[in-house]
Chain A
């Protein structure tokens, strides 16, 4: 299959691509604004909107009392009011909505609204939540073997705690939604959402409507990364309420500061771990206790915790293991999905254990990794009982350690560090094994609707959203290859709930796997209808040697009999003929992932259709006096099965990796004692810039390892590369560790900001 360029690339570079905030709406359109809580936890005593209503150009002020439907936007558990009633549970929680003709009027109205609070005690971190036993839901557990017993008998042991920070999504396009009220109470919603169906359901719920009355369309997102899986719903619900009330179009486009303050982020975690191993570095038992900061409501926290638990052992076979997962409720915005969905947090602790074992045994971490990898025919069952098939760890390890010269560079680094006092180098090779499928098994389904028009052009509808990951492009390639026609004649329609119903979020890296298959299914149905017509047509003049329907092929804009190549017609002719013969030229398609299941109670099952693998080696240079670091070189080898589009997949790998590097290094979230987020703008929240990528970055895809049972033997690519970032994180630790000649375990946490690095070095120097 030929790699196509991103289907919107030309629109992107000319500025023609339309995002929600660019949609030309009429003069009547109002701007919506959210007045949110200034306290982390408080009782609302009084809301006085009377003065605000008098302000010129203000058209509506809405409180929970004005909600005609349900006051809820919790996607799974109904614990998130759309607008606060008598209590607020985090700074940023919406209380009042304003619709006005312009932003100034909104701001004036906001100032004129008076809210009286009675402050209550707030829980602002995991430690306090644990102390107060403020669990979100009952703890979860996955266990195999006899971890407690084996641990107590292990010769070598490590026991410690890892602090892992959260992460702001920082999609370039902040949350936005435009709602246009229609006749009969209907609502047309243009939303930057990864989950149009859920947006549709929640908007209908708050408006007191039904799904049939609400249409949600999402053409493209200016970045999502999980941050618009549920959080897009909120802005949509708010805009819809204002639109319904004013009977005018209402647009909400959050300012960057508001977006950063009020939306959920990647969960921060505190993971307690205890590992036992022998003198060769073979791990015998581990106990993890994962504690996540869920924030004020459930959102997707339990599913995220589950994925963290399912990735706690990363690529390693741990014979005796216990993973306990606890999500804690705090007075912060409810944390949410973010690329990796808990996987990164789970793996960070595992990789820390490996790193520490190596330091303790004075061996190279890569040796410890290799020793503990899942094996091919034995030691290949996960703690949750899934058999690991098609293990790619060894092939990736062998190829990458060689192509990156890992061992000779390790030596060179050692020499460099012996000679240099101020600058220190470090290196690390880390693996990723990532399970593909929603662990909530029923979500593994997708629908499509393919329309063939009389002129031979094709419109493809499917349930996935385009947020930059190249889904539409891959779907276009799939449709083009399956129909055998030029992609020029195919268009991928904006994702719309009135075309494909009941879709799952575009998440869990599953966009192409699910929707690609559904589109193929629709096309298969259409092709078989067309083939029938064509077969009849081809056989019109023959008595014997007839064309068989199964030999009809679609290729190069032609439809032909593969055994009698002279029997052929253009796709266009065939379509037109089928139309005249009164054959339906549209079809839905459907797909569900076969045989995935997971029993949450027992903590066992086959939650994943397959695993994606990748590995990275990074070398860094740390300035021990300033705590700054530089990535000198990164080599990545990643397994995408048979890649559907090499450049798009590489783009996902580099982009995901760098996003992970940001999480591990410069992206830090701090709160003040009242629960205000201090880093609520790019002034103080620092995602990687162009200067922060490796000086030398080499990315390769693993070739000739097709994936069975997926669309065109490909593998999902969205999330797995994120976790390649541990190579940078642990290379930094390696550089720090060299200051204590690798004799002392450095203090380390995630992110490794220059502050973390500097304080760790200071500590090391004091001990040394």
Chain B
């Protein structure tokens, strides 16, 4: 079998496809999967509604072989995915769901249910919904309403009001995920494993761009030291916007999303260690018991399509003042593990974030993971997110609090971490100092919340005004107090 070095190989529905960028006029390594597909006359089912991950019209399903050699199907936004990210995966598009039998089109159950329930009106959002429903179909049998809503949060529809689509989901997802993909799964798995086996590092070069996709972390570190100017991309849910919205030319890219060594989740006696490359969707599932505040934040983070691509390393790497995992990591007092080819350091998250979108990372370093100390017995950690729309929205204000009381109900330690109220994620230190050593009661909390009201000087922007942010930051502490009583 051939070795893959300069070409991207993936299965498009049921056919092995190789894309070689040297001789391609229509695509570059940063061509999105959406644009790649729409270049074919017969793959225009996939639609662009926003080119920024917010509408889901571009949803496709990616099949990936997991540790047990089974294919896992995930819905993603193809507008945020660079073509090389498909390497070694199956790309499933809306055109491949129906079958033709005896010259008759047999719709896939999710398609038939949408038809039966009048789930499409103008139809522009429909292919995206079909693909989200397909991923749901493959992963759940008789899903609860909560699961259905979560699966559809990343798809906007302006016509139907969603109700018929929810009903279609209920109607369709009853066959334990069996369909014609089940029949071809073994075959597809073998091809995908073959591709994986025959790939080490892809280096894709065109006149204007170089795109590296290492399979091993060691190699990534080496590339990083050789190419200090290169942009690291993991899930690319931030980086892709540079291409789709700002039309920037990314000259050198190191894509670390193919590195399995960075996708770990380990429970140690005192810590939980999370790989920088672990997708937020997986992290959401895995953290439910051990890190409920993180889990909760991830339930209102982007959409399923976004979380399936986005990584923890990327969220930290962006160092955005409204990065949702940051207040949580601060409250858990986490540390970031950073490595270069000859060095490894562990930096507390508070020191890691330097300024607005600036981190303590050098041009030869890569974030490898995060170490989250397990909260001490009796510590209450809770996260909150306020956004204009409850789901798939960026925080107006976010917060995560960690509180430890002693037997006399006196505050032993408290962390009040906020997003959206300053240029970086920030602790309300004045309020923390005020509370420590005091009795945890309504009066103290009210007073502390007033300190918070004064402590921050947030901005007014497209999402909310400065006053709203202050009030929200203040109120969240009061809400936390009320919640802490029922713990």
Chain A residues in the interface with B (C-beta under 8 A)? 5-6, 8-19, 21-22, 24, 103-104, 107, 169-174, 220-225, 255-257, 422, 467-470, 623, 625-628, 630, 647-648, 650-651, 654-659, 666, 668, 670, 678-679, 681-684, 686-693, 697, 753-755, 758-759, 762
B163 and A659 within 8 A (CB): no
Of listed A15, A422, A686, A688, residue having the most chain B CB within 10 A: A15
Bound-state Cα–Cα, A683 to B156, Å = 12
* Docked pose: A742 CA to B482 CA in angstroms: 24
Alpha-carbon distance between A22 and B47 when the two chains are bound, in angstroms: 9
What's the minimum C-beta distance from B486 to chain A, rounded to whole angstroms? Answer: 12
- Residue of A172, A655, A666 most packed against chain B (CB within 10 A): A172
A604 to B377, CA, bound (A): 75
Determine if A682 and B54 form an interchain contact, defined as CB atoms under 8 angstroms apart.
yes
Of B52, B245, B391, B462, the contact of A689 (CB 8 Å cutoff): B391
Q: Do B478 and A651 touch (CB < 8 A)?
A: no
Known contacts A682-B55, A684-B463; is A172 also within 8 Å of B157 by CB? yes
Report Cα–Cα, A130/B121, bound state, in Å: 41
Residues of A within 8 A of B161 (CB): 651, 654-659, 688, 693
Across the interface, do A758 and B472 meet the contact criterion of CB distance under 8 Å? yes
A367 CB to nearest B CB, Å? 30
A-B contact pairs, 12 of them (CB 8 A): A12-B120, A12-B127, A24-B41, A103-B247, A172-B156, A173-B124, A625-B476, A628-B390, A655-B121, A655-B158, A655-B159, A686-B388
Q: Which residue of A lies closest to B245 (CB)?
A: A257
**A257, A467, A628 — most chain B CB neighbours (10 Å):** A628
Known: A626-B386, A684-B463. 6 other contacts (CB 8 A): A220-B123, A469-B121, A647-B118, A651-B160, A686-B389, A691-B153
Given A10-B107, A469-B121, A648-B118, decide whether A691 and B476 contact each other with a Cβ distance below 8 A: no
Contact B158 A659 (CB under 8 A): yes
B57 on interface, CB distance cutoff 8 Å: yes
Whether the pair A754, B115 counts as a contact (CB closer than 8 A) is no
The answer to whether A220 and B122 touch (CB under 8 A), given A15-B93, A684-B462, is yes
Chain A residue with minimal CB distance to B483? A422
Within 8 A of A (CB), among B459-484: 461-465, 467-468, 471-472, 475-476, 478-479, 482
Q: Which residue of B lies closest to A672 (CB)?
A: B462
B304 to chain A, nearest CB (A): 11
CA distance A628 to B160 in the complex (A): 24
The CA of A625 and the CA of B462, in the complex, are separated in Å by: 21
Q: Which of B358-366, B392-400, B411-419 contacts A (4 or more CB under 8 A)?
A: B392-400
Q: Which residues of A lie under 8 Å from residue B157 when comparing CB positions? A: 172, 690
Check A172 against B124 for contact (C-beta < 8 Å).
yes
Give the interface SS of chain A, mostly helix, strand, loop or mixed: loop
Which residues of chain B (77-125) have a CB below 8 Å from chain A? 93-95, 97-98, 105, 107, 111-112, 114-116, 118-125
The answer, yes or no, to whether B44 is at the interface (CB within 8 Å) is: yes
B338 within 8 A of A: no
On whether A468 and B386 interact (CB within 8 A), knowing A5-B115, A13-B114, A689-B391, the answer reads no
Q: Find out whether the CB atom of A470 lies under 8 angstroms from the CB atom of B52.
A: no
Q: Given A14-B105, A758-B471, are A690 and B149 also a contact pair (CB < 8 Å)?
A: yes
CA–CA, A57 to B387, complex, Å?
Answer: 44
Q: How far is the CA of A656 from the CA of B94 in the complex (A)?
A: 27
Measured in the bound complex, the distance between the Cα atoms of B31 and A104 in whole Å is 12
Which single member of B98, B115, B159, B392 contacts A468 (CB below 8 Å)? B159
B107 touches A13 (CB 8 A): yes
Residues of A within 8 A of B126 (CB): 12-13, 17
Min CB distance, A15 to chain B, in Å? 2
Min C-beta distance of A386 to chain B, whole Å? 31
Where the two chains meet, the residues of B that have a C-beta atom closer than 8 Å to any C-beta of A are: 41, 44-47, 49-52, 54-55, 57, 93-95, 97-98, 105, 107, 111-112, 114-116, 118-127, 130, 149, 152-153, 155-166, 245, 247, 384, 386-394, 396, 461-465, 467-468, 471-472, 475-476, 478-479, 482
Question: Quick check: A15 and B44 within 8 Å, CB to CB?
Answer: yes
**B158 touches which one: A8, A14, A223, A650 (CB < 8 A)?**
A223
Distance (Å) between the CB of A531 and the closest chain B CB? 36
6 pairs of A and B residues whose beta carbons are closest in the complex? A15-B45, A468-B122, A222-B124, A12-B123, A468-B121, A654-B161
A659 to chain B, nearest CB (A): 7
Asked if A651 meets B463 with Cβ closer than 8 Å, knowing A223-B158, A758-B472, the reply is no
Chain A residues with CB under 8 Å of B98's CB are: 14
A225 — which chain B residues lie within 8 A by C-beta? 158
Contact A172 B122 (CB under 8 A): yes
Are A691's CB and B390's CB within 8 A? yes
- Chain B residue nearest in CB terms to A466: B122
The CA of A223 and the CA of B47, in the complex, are separated in Å by 13
Partner pick for A8 among B97, B123, B390, CB 8 A cutoff? B123
Chain A residues contacting B245 (CB-CB under 8 Å) are 257, 681
B114 and A9 contacting across the interface, CB-CB below 8 Å = yes
Given A654-B164, A666-B389, A759-B467, verify A6-B44 contact (CB < 8 Å): no
Contact call B114/A693, Cβ cutoff below 8 A: no
Q: Which residue of A lies closest to B46 (CB)?
A: A15
Chain A nearest CB: distance from B3 CB in Å?
32
Closest to A25 in B: B41
Nearest-CB distance from A669 to chain B (Å)?
Answer: 10
Chain B minimum-CB-distance residue to A753:
B388
The answer to whether A6 touches B118 (Cβ under 8 A) is yes
CA A654 to CA B472, docked complex, whole Å: 32
Q: Write the nearest CB–CB distance from A243 to chain B, whole angstroms.
A: 21
- Interchain CB contact under 8 A, B95 and A15: yes
Asked whether, in the complex, the Cβ of B476 is within 8 Å of the Cβ of A626, the reply is: yes
Return the chain B residue nearest A751 by Cβ: B388
Rounded to whole Å, the gap between the CB of B172 and the closest CB of chain A is 11
Residue from the list A257, A626, A681, A697 in contact with B472, Cβ < 8 A: A626
Which residues from chain B contact A679 at a C-beta distance below 8 Å? Answer: 462
The reply to whether A754 and B396 contact each other, CB–CB distance below 8 Å, is: yes
**In angstroms, how far is the closest chain B Cβ from the Cβ of A665?**
9
| Chain A minimum-CB-distance residue to B114 | A13
Tell me the complex Cα distance, A112–B479, Å.
54
Across the interface, name the chain B residue whose C-beta is closest to A5: B115
Give every chain B residue within 8 A of A658 (Cβ-Cβ): 161-162
Q: Which of A24, A668, A691 has the most CB of B within 10 A?
A: A691
Residues in A whose Cβ lies below 8 Å from that of B163: 654, 693, 697
Which chain B residues border A24 with CB–CB below 8 Å?
41
In the complex formed, the residue of B with least CB distance to A645 is: B118
Give the residues in chain B near A690, CB-CB below 8 Å: 149, 152-153, 155, 157, 162, 165-166
Q: What separation, in Å, do the CA atoms of A657 and B162 have in the docked complex?
A: 11
Distance in angstroms between the alpha carbons of A473 and B339 in the assembled complex = 61
B468 & A758 in contact (Cβ 8 Å cutoff): yes
**Contact check: which of B50, B165, B464, B479 meets A682 at CB < 8 Å?**
B50
CB distance from A106 to the nearest CB of B (A): 10
Q: Which residues of A contact B120 (CB under 8 A)?
A: 6, 8-9, 12-13, 468
Task: Please determine whether B45 and A16 come into contact, CB atoms closer than 8 angstroms.
Answer: yes
B143 to chain A, nearest CB (A): 13
Q: How far is the CA of A700 from the CA of B114 in the complex (A)?
A: 21
Given known contacts A15-B46, A690-B152, A691-B149, A9 and B118 CB-to-CB distance under 8 angstroms:
yes
Complex Cα gap A169–B124 (Å): 14
Beyond A107-B247, A172-B55, whether A256 also contacts B388 by CB under 8 A is: no
Select from chain B the residue with minimum beta-carbon distance to A222. B124
With A468-B121, A681-B52 as contacts: A22 and B159 at CB distance below 8 Å: no
The residues of B that contact A654 with a CB separation of less than 8 Å are 160-164
* Inter-chain contacts of B476 with A (CB < 8 A): 625-626
**Contact at B159–A223, with CB atoms within 8 Å?**
yes
Chain A residues near B41: list those with CB within 8 A: 24
What CA separation (Å) do A106 and B155 show in the bound complex? 30
Contact in complex: B389, A689 (CB < 8 Å): yes
**Distance (Å) between the CB of B32 and the closest chain A CB?**
12
Query: Which of A172, A256, A681 contacts B125, CB < 8 Å?
Result: A172
Q: How far is the CA of A220 from the CA of B124 in the complex (A)?
A: 10
**Closest partner residue, chain B, to A678 (CB atom):** B462
Q: How far is the CB of B146 from chain A (nearest CB, A)?
A: 10
